[in-house]
């Protein structure tokens, strides 16, 4: 009776003192720690509210920039949006023609209908293809590392192919090519008669173009600069063979250990013929890397009133064995090898009573790894006969019982040794 009266009194007290009740947020049966979403501050709000003491120990490297200054700027040709009514009428007429085509329906029903992929690609390039290419270039950081805060939508398709023996390797938008496949200059084709204004021209005038191939990832001395692998200027009417080769072609040569390097083709539309003599490197050593130092953004700023980027294609390349002879014979350099310097693993201080931790693994954290490998090797050699070789492995390791009187950590170690799990593979 006393317990019932005590419980009733406690309930009445909690009802009267409602400020003592605490709201518990639950999501999918799990209790949320702290304040629930919508009430708690977001990560950005929490970081902005940090005290100066936080920034003293964790300084902010990037300064706040004016969004107006970092807003992306389109430096390419504007997109000419076709008439919606004309598109709709053409689409309805096409659908009506296709529905009245009995032969097309029969081939589709019999699964013999062939789709012209070249026509599909051309339609893609005329509609949403350039915008997809722009998104791919943004994904790979092409515009950021070449033009800074500027971008452009490629209006001209670059058809680039490398010929390696009987194989043809096309350059798309981020595909991987090996350096051995890029030894010789590629074949480049593009449509120089593309109409950028949307108005029908009465007379075809001569058009001038320039093509550059740069590598923004491979400069040995300055990470903000690039190597120019190819530069052809004043290309008349899209004929590459008649253009002025200012910087001869140089194959891709990414150093070992640096991963994939981007090699970017950029096609510019010139307003008129331009004197590119200061960029010419035809008279000197074509393998002089210092003479090939280049910056796309500086080049564009100098000629931005006379050129407009119109085409884009790029591939990725990493090290292969063919570059050893290229570095020694052509560049007269030793093969550079880059390795990542991993920081030492963090090991917390020892505890007086380490609970729920395997004894051997816990102790090995504070020992020299060379000593541990030596113990494994000595243990292996002790079971190896000098003439008959090592012991034959068990055919069914799990079928052989392990003494239950042994400690749990030692039983686990014997099981790993039999099955070949863990650190035993370092010396096998």
Residues 310 and 398 in one domain: no
- Same domain, yes or no, for 375 and 296? no
Whether residues 151 and 277 share a domain: the answer is: yes
Total domains present in the chain = 2
* Judgement on whether residues 177 and 216 belong to the same structural domain of the protein: yes
Q: Output 124-129 pairs: Cβ under 8 A, ≥24 positions apart.
A: 125/157
Q: What is the CATH number of the domain that holds 276?
A: 3.90.280.10
The dihedral sign for the CA sequence 375, 377, 381, 384: positive
Most confident of 315-319, 388-392, 418-422: 315-319
381 in the same domain as 250: no
Cα distance from N-terminal residue to C-terminal residue, the chain: 74
Residue 293 maps to a domain: yes
* Of the candidates 180, 173, 205, 179, the residue with the CA atom closest to the CA atom of residue 192: 205
> Do 324 and 363 belong to one domain?
no
Asked if residue 345 belongs to a domain, the reply is no
Residues 325, 407: one domain? no
pTM of the predicted model as reported, rounded to 2 decimal places: 0.69
* pLDDT tens readout for residues 35-47: 766 677 777 777 7
Do 321 and 228 fall within a single domain?
Answer: yes
Query: What is the chain's mean pLDDT, rounded?
Result: 84
Which helix (H) or strand (E) is 13 found in, with range?
A: helix 2-16
CA distance 266 to 215: 11
Residue 46 pLDDT: 75
Question: In sequence order, what are the residues at sequence separation of 6 or more whose Cβ sits closer than 8 angstroms to the Cβ of residue 67?
Answer: none
Specify if 102 maps to a domain: no
Picking from 330, 346, 370, the residue at the C-terminal end of a domain is 330
Residues 369 and 325 in one domain: no
In a domain, 386, yes or no: yes
Give CA angle at 189 (187, 195), nearest 5°.
165
- Dihedral angle at the C-alpha atoms of 371, 377, 379, 384, nearest 10 degrees? -160
**pLDDT tens digit sequence for 198-223:** 555 544 678 999 999 999 999 999 98
Structure tokens given for 144:
């950021």
- 226 and 180 in a single domain? The answer is yes
Read off the pLDDT band of 2 (50, 70, 90).
very low
Q: Given 289, 312, 330, which residue is the final one in a domain?
A: 330
CA distances from 130 to 84, 146, 199 (A): 19, 18, 20
Write the pLDDT tens digit of every residue in 244-256: 999 999 999 999 9
- 171 exposed, middle or buried (CB, 10 Å; 0-12, 13-18, 19+)? buried
DSSP 14-46: HHH-GGG-----EETTEEPSSSPTTTSPPHHHH
8 Å CB contact between 232 and 240: yes
Measured CA to CA, the distance from residue 309 to residue 243 in angstroms comes to: 17
Domain range holding 411?
359-425
Residue 85 lies in a domain: no
End residue of a domain, out of 278, 313, 330:
330
Residue 251: inside a domain: yes
Q: Cβ(268)–Cβ(309) under 8 Å?
A: yes
- Do residues 309 and 259 share a domain? yes
pLDDT of res. 209 = 95
Q: What is the DSSP string of 323-352?
A: HHHIIIIIS-----B----PPPPP-PPP-S
101-159 pLDDT, tens digit per residue, is 889 889 888 999 898 999 999 889 888 899 999 999 999 999 999 999 899 999 999 99
Closest CA to 259 of 179, 173, 322, 338: 338
Are residues 169 and 222 both part of a single domain?
yes
Is residue 393 pLDDT above 90, yes or no? no
Give the CA dihedral 194, 199, 202, 204, nearest 10 degrees. Answer: -20
Mean pLDDT over 227-245 rounds to 93
């Amino acid at each position: 009776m006393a317990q019932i009266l005590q419980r009733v009194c406690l309930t009445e007290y909690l009802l009267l003192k409602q400020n003592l009740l605490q709201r518990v947020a639950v999501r999918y049966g799990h209790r949320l720690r702290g304040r629930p979403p919508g009430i708690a501050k977001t990560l950005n709000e929490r970081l902005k509210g940090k005290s100066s003491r936080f920034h003293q120990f964790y300084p902010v490297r990037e300064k706040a920039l004016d969004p107006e200054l970092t807003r992306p700027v389109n430096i390419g040709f504007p997109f000419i949006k076709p008439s919606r009514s004309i598109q709709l009428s053409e689409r309805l007429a096409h659908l009506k023609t296709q529905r009245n085509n009995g032969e097309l329906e029969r081939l589709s029903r019999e699964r013999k209908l062939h789709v012209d992929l070249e026509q599909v690609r051309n339609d893609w390039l005329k509609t949403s293809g350039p915008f997809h290419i722009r998104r791919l270039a943004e994904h790979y950081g092409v515009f950021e590392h070449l033009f800074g805060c500027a971008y452009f939508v490629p209006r001209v398709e670059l058809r680039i192919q490398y010929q390696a023996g009987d194989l043809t390797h096309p350059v798309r938008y981020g595909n991987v090519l090996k350096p051995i496949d890029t030894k010789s200059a590629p074949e480049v084709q593009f449509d120089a008669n593309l109409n950028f204004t949307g108005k029908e021209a009465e007379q075809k005038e001569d058009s001038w173009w320039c093509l550059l191939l740069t590598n923004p990832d491979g400069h040995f001395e300055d990470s903000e600069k690039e190597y120019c692998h190819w530069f052809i200027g004043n290309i008349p009417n899209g004929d590459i063979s008649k253009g002025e080769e200012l910087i001869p072609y140089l194959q891709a040569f990414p150093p070992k250990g640096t991963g994939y390097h981007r090699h970017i083709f950029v096609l510019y539309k010139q307003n008129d013929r331009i004197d590119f003599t200061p960029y010419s490197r035809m008279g000197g050593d074509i393998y002089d890397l210092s003479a090939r130092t280049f910056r796309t953004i500086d080049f564009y700023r100098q000629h931005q009133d006379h050129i407009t980027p119109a085409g884009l294609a790029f591939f990725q390349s990493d090290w292969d064995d063919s570059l050893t002879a290229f570095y020694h014979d052509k560049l007269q350099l030793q093969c550079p090898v880059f390795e990542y310097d991993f920081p030492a693993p963090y090991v917390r201080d020892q505890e007086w009573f380490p609970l729920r931790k395997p004894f051997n693994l816990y102790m090995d954290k504070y020992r020299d790894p060379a000593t541990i490998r030596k113990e494994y090797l000595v243990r292996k050699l002790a079971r190896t006969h000098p003439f008959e070789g090592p012991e034959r492995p068990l055919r069914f390791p799990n079928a052989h019982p392990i003494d239950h009187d042994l400690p749990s950590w030692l039983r686990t170690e014997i099981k790993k040794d039999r099955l070949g799990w863990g650190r035993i593979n370092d010396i096998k």
